[in-house]
């Protein structure tokens, strides 16, 4: 479920750590990176070094669910907004294509402008990224039915933040998804929709980021593999029959190079971490996913898709729109 690749290039070496997103979430993948370089440093110091075994560890979400009573879990599922797919990224159903990535990297000066703009509206960088994502998605679709009607995206939150006094948690999936739903009128800009977004994100941050998503999936898992297969079969069938799949935006936050450094090289020299890119899952119709991450003041927006059913020209146009909607 985990693979590490080293690619030697003139401009520097690329280390690519790949894992299935069922094995761990984004934080778990970055934990794998930290562990990899910690083991590397151990081997440099002692060629016979072998890291201590992790052993079996609890990969369930029990520690999150334990924070809530049974009644709170049931109420959270009942009260949470249901996942209803209302739109999809422009795509042609012509079979599989070639896995491809596309991205935009914004300068530290640009990121400072975004922060300054956000302070005027009591909005975070993440709020503004969601606004730009919504507006770019609407513009690239160019569908009149999107104006003035509810539309939704999925985004995520790391539930580790709720755990107190935890040491480094081994790789696992402790992230949850939730909807952000808006109504966008024609010619709207970030200023016109940011209040709708902050209303959702602030409500989530002040207590509504509860156990709903985990409880829902635990209910499916309780039915065994037949229940899991039936759930996914029904989900895929629904995407194919309706052609609708809400897009996904996930902000991974600030990547600290000190989590991976130092990296000793040959003859006592120290290697540096030049860049960090988090490549999301490759989407196939009808999904569409963009991740954001910040490294040394640079904000990178990245998507992965199958060229063929997805047009690279359209994907690049989407990223251009998202760039233009940011301050």
List, for residues 180-208, the tens digit of each pLDDT value: 999 999 889 999 999 999 999 998 887 66
What digits encode the pLDDT tens for the residues 54-68? 889 998 889 889 999
The pLDDT of residue 8: 93
- Residue that the structure tokens 């795509």 belong to: 91
d(CA 269, CA 95): 49
Q: Residue 207, by phi and psi: left (phi above 0), alpha (psi -120 to 50) or beta?
A: left
Residue ranges of the chain with per-residue pLDDT less than 70: 166, 207-208
Q: How far apart are CA 327 and CA 324, in angstroms?
A: 7
CA separation (Å) from 122 to 125, 171, 206? 10, 34, 15
252 vs 7, 218, 249, CA distance in Å? 24, 25, 10
Q: Tell me, what's the pLDDT at 81?
A: 82
Question: Tell me, what DSSP letter sits at residue 116?
Answer: H
Q: Nearest to residue 176, comparing CAs of 61, 291, 84?
A: 61
């Amino acid at each position: 479920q985990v693979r590490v690749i080293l690619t030697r290039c003139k401009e520097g070496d690329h280390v690519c750590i790949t894992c299935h997103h069922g094995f761990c979430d984004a934080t778990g993948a970055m934990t794998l990176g930290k562990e990899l370089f910690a083991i590397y440093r151990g081997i440099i110091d002692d060629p016979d070094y072998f890291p201590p075994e992790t052993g079996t560890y609890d990969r369930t979400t029990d520690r999150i669910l334990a924070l809530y009573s049974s009644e709170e879990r049931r109420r959270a599922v009942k009260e949470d907004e249901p996942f209803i797919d209302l739109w999809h990224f422009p795509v042609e159903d012509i079979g599989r294509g070639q896995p491809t990535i596309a991205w935009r990297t914004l300068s530290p000066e640009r990121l400072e402008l975004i922060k300054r703009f956000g302070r005027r509206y009591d909005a975070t960088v993440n709020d503004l990224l969601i606004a730009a994502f919504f507006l770019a998605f609407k513009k690239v679709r160019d569908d009149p039915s999107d104006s003035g009607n509810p539309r939704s995206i999925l985004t995520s939150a790391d539930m580790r933040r709720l755990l107190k006094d935890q040491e480094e948690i081994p790789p696992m999936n402790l992230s949850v998804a939730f909807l952000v739903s808006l109504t966008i009128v024609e010619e709207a800009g970030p200023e016109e929709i940011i209040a709708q977004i902050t209303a959702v994100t602030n409500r989530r941050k002040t207590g509504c980021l509860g156990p709903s998503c985990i409880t829902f999936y635990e209910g499916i898992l309780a039915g065994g593999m037949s229940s899991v297969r039936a759930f996914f079969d029904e989900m895929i069938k629904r995407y194919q029959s309706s052609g609708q799949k809400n897009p996904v935006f996930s902000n991974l936050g600030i990547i600290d190079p000190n989590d991976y450094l130092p990296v000793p090289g040959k003859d006592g020299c120290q290697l540096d971490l030049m860049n960090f890119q988090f490549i999301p899952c490759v989407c196939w119709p009808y999904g569409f996913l963009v991740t954001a991450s910040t490294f040394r003041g640079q904000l990178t927006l990245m998507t992965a898709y199958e060229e063929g059913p997805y047009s690279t020209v359209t994907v690049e146009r989407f990223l251009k729109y998202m760039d233009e909607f940011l301050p």
